[in-house]
């Protein structure tokens, strides 16, 4: 998704912008550009494709290390309105060339605004929604006192519909620039030699740890010396910066070839950080979750709403919450939930799951549910993100920054949070006995060790992937929780290796999809659910009879797997209820090694973005 960096101060502006943009590459982008102030002009350089193209253009222009550039804004774009091209890249300039704008989000009324501006004689050079902002700022700027860029931006914002994080630079105002946000994240960094804006903290973490998180509808005026923040009514806002403690190293590869592998290797740590601090004196305690017995008894159903990997975590959540708490649970992908008129009321608990906390569909679904009176509990990784701030209560996963587009450790920690929640709700409702509760807590705290052991067995997966990375189609089949985890296993494989893959309920395959099984088709079968093992063995026999090659993912003690699987990836023994947290990891590793063998870009798969902040 698009990224923004801006800087004003004494250091080398273009180097700062390029460094920041490179740290935002993980968000996914198809073009990039910068605008900077030099000799009383706004200069813009932008290029389709990778940042290297932009860097080359800056080098050719001889401005990369310029000592006389003290303010600039940069952007990585992920096309929404208009194809990836130099023209559609940001920053966009106003007619006079005086004003430059970078924008994340979508201006919903841009066609209307474009017509208004075209009628007034403004010329458009791109197909983007963003260009209207540049012209509008100029249009309003003409009516303001000379140099009052802040007022011109404020007037512009009042007519924009949709979402935005904005950086605005003006040739007349070399001492400042303006930033604003609504429904799209933007932060301000306070440095010693100048100040920054960014769409995401890692972009500027190597420069400063003092971060001011902008709230919706706020606008900021940045100079090299200070930052002034205002609300939508123009009233000054005082907000203390937060000091970010995590290391910028944590947002980089740390010795691994790819972020994805680094992040898979962090799963044991991430589980520990998510689980252990929540278990104190034999009880699960959440800091900001108010689900007492009265509230839970009054809850007649639960909706879990999320997108992508997070929605797959939600499917596991449904199985365990229903099993343990006996409350009906529905899982919806957020984009469907929003528009299908779901039955939600005051007795509904909506659990929102999101790694980034910024996925637009999820955020919008949450707001919709809130409007309908539901109680909102969010499971989020990014502290201070929009979903986290707007939910009634939040359980933060402690995965740490996730850079690879394919989500891995975030999923395991989302599951951990859901288990903690399910055990706690079941306990509060008196649905599980004290000894059962205590035994689950003990098993939860053992999971980080089990994960370490699982990760130590990478080679089996690596070997199998090296032999079979050329397959054309893969089916993941499982029953119950193995089916739930198959959904995620299948997504992981297809999104990074581009191999067609599907997840199917073991018992459902025979109702049509088995027609696709032919000689050599790879079928991956998680076999962690003891009570359903015999049924799965029958299903495996069905696919083997049609020529399938079968890879099992089974616990050490599951001897029966030998009867039907061609190869087995072993995981340590674990309670079947908790198995998805562990059994997903070999599937993530399988996707990783297949992709590496195919020579593809593991961390930045085609067509995908890490954080999808458009509908
Ligand atoms: C994008 C990412 C997925 C992610 C989904 C939801 O599509 O590519 O990996 O699962 O968004 O993201 P969230 O941040 O809300 O969990």
Confirm or reject: Cβ of 401 under 6 Å from ligand 1.
no
Q: Which of 272, 409, 492, 610 is catalytic?
A: 610
| Residue 415 DSSP code | H
User: Of residues 202 and 304, which shows the higher confidence score?
Assistant: 304
Nearest to 261 by CA among 455, 50, 536, 26: 455
Instruction: Identify the bridge partners of residue 32 per DSSP, sorted by sequence position.
Output: 47, 76
User: Of residues 254 and 177, which shows the higher confidence score?
Assistant: 177
| CA-based R_g, the chain, Å | 26
Phi, psi of 329 (to 5 degrees): -130, 135
Q: For residue 358, how far is its CA from the centre of ligand 1 (angstroms)?
A: 9
Give the pLDDT of residue 226.
Answer: 96
Closest residue by Cα to atom 4, ligand 1, is: 308
Confirm or reject: Cβ of 407 under 6 Å from ligand 1.
yes
Give the pLDDT of residue 281.
Answer: 87
Give the pLDDT of residue 250.
Answer: 58
Q: Look up residue 112 and give its two tokens.
A: 């209307």
Closest residue by Cα to atom 3, ligand 1, is: 308
18-27, 42-51, 245-254, 443-452, range with the lowest pLDDT: 245-254
CA atoms within 13 A on the CB side of 147: 5
274-278, 311-315, 437-441, range with the lowest pLDDT: 274-278
Q: Which helix (H) or strand (E) holds 172?
A: none
Closest residue by Cα to atom 15, ligand 1, is: 354
Closest residue by Cα to atom 7, ligand 1, is: 308
Q: Which helix (H) or strand (E) holds 12?
A: none
The band of 60, judged by pLDDT with boundaries at 50, 70 and 90, is very high
* 8 Å CB contact between 195 and 224: yes
Confirm or reject: Cβ of 610 under 6 Å from ligand 1.
yes
pLDDT of 297 above 60: yes
* 8 Å CB contact between 499 and 473: yes
Q: Look up residue 435 and give its two tokens.
A: 């000894």
Catalytic annotation present for 173: no
Give the pLDDT of residue 363.
Answer: 97
Q: For residue 305, how far is its CA from the centre of ligand 1 (angstroms)?
A: 12
Give the pLDDT of residue 107.
Answer: 87
pLDDT tens per residue across span 178-233: 999 998 889 999 999 999 999 988 899 999 999 999 999 999 999 999 999 999 88
First to last CA, the chain: 12
Q: Which atom of ligand 1 is nearest to the CA of 359?
A: 15
Give the pLDDT of residue 327.
Answer: 97
Give CA–CA dist 354/383, Å, rounded. 11
* 8 Å CB contact between 204 and 241: no
Q: For residue 387, how far is its CA from the centre of ligand 1 (angstroms)?
A: 13
The band of 22, judged by pLDDT with boundaries at 50, 70 and 90, is very high
pLDDT of 254 above 60: no
Mean pLDDT of the chain: 94
The whole-number average pLDDT for the span 117-127 is 96
Q: For residue 325, how far is its CA from the centre of ligand 1 (angstroms)?
A: 28
Phi, psi of 362 (to 5 degrees): -70, -45
Give CA–CA dist 505/487, Å, rounded. 9
Confirm or reject: Cβ of 612 under 6 Å from ligand 1.
yes
User: Of residues 83 and 392, which shows the higher confidence score?
Assistant: 392
Q: For residue 317, how far is its CA from the centre of ligand 1 (angstroms)?
A: 17
**DSSP letters along 330-397, please?**
EEEEHHHHTTS-----TTEEEEEEESSS--HHHHHHHHHHHHTT-EEEEEESSTT-HHHHHSSEEEE-
pLDDT of 82 above 80: no
pLDDT tens per residue across span 307-357: 999 999 999 999 999 999 999 999 999 999 988 899 999 999 999 999 999
Strand, coil or helix: what is 412? helix
pLDDT of 612 above 90: no
The whole-number average pLDDT for the span 435-461 is 97
pLDDT of 609 above 90: no
What is the percent of the chain with per-residue pLDDT over 70, rounded to a whole number? 98
* 8 Å CB contact between 149 and 222: no
Q: Which of 2, 325, 558, 565 is catalytic?
A: 2
* 8 Å CB contact between 260 and 603: yes
pLDDT of 264 above 70: yes
Q: For residue 410, how far is its CA from the centre of ligand 1 (angstroms)?
A: 10
Angle between helices 579-597 and 434-455 (to 10 degrees): 20
**DSSP letters along 536-565, please?**
HHHHHHHHHTTT-EEEEEEETT-TTHHHH-
Give CA–CA dist 491/159, Å, rounded. 40
Which residues have CB under 8 Å from 514's CB, separation 6+? 542, 543, 546
Q: Which atom of ligand 1 is nearest to the CA of 382?
A: 14
Give CA–CA dist 443/582, Å, rounded. 12
pLDDT of 84 above 90: no
Task: Tell whether the torsion through CA atoms of 140, 141, 145 and 151 is positive or negative.
Answer: positive
Give CA–CA dist 534/229, Å, rounded. 64
Confirm or reject: Cβ of 356 under 6 Å from ligand 1.
yes
* 8 Å CB contact between 131 and 141: no
Query: Biggest alpha carbon distance in the chain?
Result: 82
Question: Ligand 1, residues 184, 355, 357, 404: which to mutate, most atoms within 8 A of Cβ?
Answer: 355
Closest residue by Cα to atom 5, ligand 1, is: 308
| Residue 490 DSSP code | H
Question: Ligand 1, residues 26, 184, 307, 418: which to mutate, most atoms within 8 A of Cβ?
Answer: 307
Q: For residue 318, how far is its CA from the centre of ligand 1 (angstroms)?
A: 19
Question: Within a 10 A sphere around the Cβ of 239, how many other Cβ atoms?
Answer: 13
pLDDT of 256 above 60: yes
Catalytic annotation present for 610: yes
Give the Cα-Cα-Cα angle 476, 481, 487 (nearest 5 degrees). Answer: 35
Confirm or reject: Cβ of 320 under 6 Å from ligand 1.
no
Surface-to-core class of residue 119, CB atoms within 10 Å of its CB (0-12 exposed, 13-18 middle, 19+ buried): exposed
15-19, 46-50, 287-291, range with the lowest pLDDT: 287-291
User: Of residues 251 and 425, which shows the higher confidence score?
Assistant: 425
Give CA–CA dist 98/109, Å, rounded. 24
**Cα 454 from chain centroid (whole Å):** 25
207-211, 263-267, 607-611, range with the lowest pLDDT: 607-611
pLDDT tens per residue across span 477-497: 999 999 999 999 999 999 999
Nearest to 306 by CA among 378, 235, 393, 399: 378
* 8 Å CB contact between 329 and 301: yes
Q: For residue 290, how far is its CA from the centre of ligand 1 (angstroms)?
A: 27
């Amino acid at each position: 998704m698009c990224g923004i960096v801006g800087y004003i101060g004494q250091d080398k502006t273009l180097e700062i912008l390029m460094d920041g943009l490179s740290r935002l590459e993980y968000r996914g982008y198809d073009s990039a550009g910068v605008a900077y102030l030099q000799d009383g002009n706004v200069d813009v350089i932008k290029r389709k494709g990778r940042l290297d193209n932009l860097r080359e253009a800056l080098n050719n222009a001889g401005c990369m290390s310029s000592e006389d550039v003290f303010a600039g804004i940069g952007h990585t774009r992920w096309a929404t309105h208009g194809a990836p091209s130099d023209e559609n890249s940001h920053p966009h300039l106003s007619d006079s060339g005086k004003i430059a704008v970078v924008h994340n989000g979508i201006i919903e009324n841009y066609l209307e605004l474009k017509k208004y501006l075209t009628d007034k004689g403004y010329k458009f050079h791109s197909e983007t929604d963003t260009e209207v902002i540049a012209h509008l700022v100029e249009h309003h700027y003409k009516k303001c006192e000379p140099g009052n860029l802040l007022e011109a931006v404020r007037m512009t914002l009042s007519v924009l519909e949709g979402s935005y994080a904005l950086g605005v630079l003006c040739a007349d105002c070399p001492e400042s620039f303006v930033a604003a946000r609504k429904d799209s994240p933007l932060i301000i960094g306070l440095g010693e030699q100048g100040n920054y804006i960014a769409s995401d903290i890692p972009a500027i973490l190597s420069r400063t740890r003092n971060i001011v998180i902008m709230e919706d509808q706020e606008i900021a005026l940045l100079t090299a010396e200070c930052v002034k923040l205002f609300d939508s009514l123009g009233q000054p806002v005082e907000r203390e910066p937060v000091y970010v403690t995590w290391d910028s190293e944590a947002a980089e590869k740390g010795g691994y070839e790819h972020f994805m592998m680094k992040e898979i290797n962090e799963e044991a740590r991430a589980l520990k950080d998510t689980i252990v601090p929540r278990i104190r004196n034999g009880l699960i305690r959440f800091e900001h979750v108010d689900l007492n017995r009265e509230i839970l008894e009054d809850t007649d159903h639960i909706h879990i709403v999320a997108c992508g990997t997070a929605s797959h975590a939600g499917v596991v959540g449904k199985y365990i919450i229903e099993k343990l708490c006996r409350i009906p649970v529905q899982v919806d992908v957020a984009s469907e939930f929003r528009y299908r008129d779901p039955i939600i009321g005051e007795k509904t608990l909506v659990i929102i799951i999101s790694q980034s906390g910024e996925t637009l569909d999820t955020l919008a679904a949450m707001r919709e549910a809130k409007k309908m009176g539901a109680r909102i509990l969010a499971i989020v990784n990014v502290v201070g993100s929009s979903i986290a701030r707007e939910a009634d209560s939040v359980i933060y996963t402690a995965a740490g920054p996730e850079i690879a587009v394919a989500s891995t450790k975030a999923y395991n920690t989302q599951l951990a949070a859901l288990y903690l929640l399910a055990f706690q709700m079941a306990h509060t409702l008196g649905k599980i006995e004290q000894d059962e509760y205590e035994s689950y807590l003990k098993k939860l705290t053992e999971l980080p060790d089990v994960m370490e052991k699982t990760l130590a067995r990478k080679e089996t997966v690596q070997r199998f992937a090296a032999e079979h990375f050329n397959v054309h189609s893969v089916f993941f089949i499982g029953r119950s929780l193995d089916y739930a985890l198959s959904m995620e296993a299948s997504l992981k494989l297809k999104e990074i290796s581009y191999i067609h893959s599907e997840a199917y309920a073991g018992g459902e395959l025979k109702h049509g999809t088995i027609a696709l099984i032919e000689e050599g088709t790879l079928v991956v079968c998680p076999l962690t659910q003891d009570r359903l093992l015999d049924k799965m063995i029958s299903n495996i026999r069905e696919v083997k009879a049609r020529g399938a090659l079968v890879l099992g993912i089974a616990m050490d003690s599951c001897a029966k797997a030998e009867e039907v699987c061609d190869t087995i990836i072993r995981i340590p023994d674990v309670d079947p209820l908790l198995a998805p947290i562990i059994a997903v990891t070999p599937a993530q590793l399988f996707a990783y090694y297949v992709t590496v063998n195919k020579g593809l870009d593991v961390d930045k798969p085609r067509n995908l973005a890490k954080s999808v902040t458009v509908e």
